[in-house]
């Protein structure tokens, strides 16, 4: 049984025109765990900042952040709650 946690994922996308499509594709592929997504483009600076709240098991959350972090021009940081919200079978 996997423990369910809430996590915050923050991403900075440099040169969004080059990375945004792949970034969005990864986020869409993890749609079942994504609970909230908010983004702020800084067009003059060529940067976008995205915050995502997810809820799932730790392995899935880590896989999600790992995939985002592998995208060129994307930096990712996350924080995972210590509180177990239940378990999946």
Residue 34's H or E segment, with its range, is strand 34-42
What tens-digit pLDDT sequence spans the chain (89 residues)?
689 999 999 999 999 999 999 999 999 999 999 999 999 999 999 999 999 999 999 999 999 999 999 999 999 999 999 999 887 64
Contacts of 79 (CB under 8 A, 6+ apart): 7, 8
pTM of the model as a whole: 0.90
Q: Options 1.10.10.60, 3.30.70.1150, 3.40.190.10, 3.40.980.10; which CATH number does 2-82 get?
A: 3.30.70.1150
What are the residue boundaries of the structural domains of the chain, listed by start?
Answer: 2-82
Question: Which residues share a beta bridge with 19?
Answer: none
> Cβ–Cβ contacts within 10 Å for residue 13, how many?
25
Is there a contact between 39 and 48 (Cβ–Cβ < 8 Å)?
yes
Question: Which residues share a beta bridge with 57?
Answer: 4
What is the rounded CA–CA span in Å between residue 9 and residue 77?
A: 6
């Amino acid at each position: 049984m996997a423990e369910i946690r809430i996590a915050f994922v923050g991403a900075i996308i440099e040169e969004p025109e080059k990375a945004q499509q792949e970034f969005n594709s990864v986020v869409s592929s993890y749609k079942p765990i994504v609970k909230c997504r908010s983004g702020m483009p800084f067009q003059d600076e060529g940067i976008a900042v995205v915050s995502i709240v997810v809820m799932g098991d730790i392995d899935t959350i880590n896989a999600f952040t790992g995939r985002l972090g592998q995208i060129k021009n994307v930096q990712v940081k996350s924080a995972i709650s210590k509180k177990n919200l239940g378990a999946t079978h």
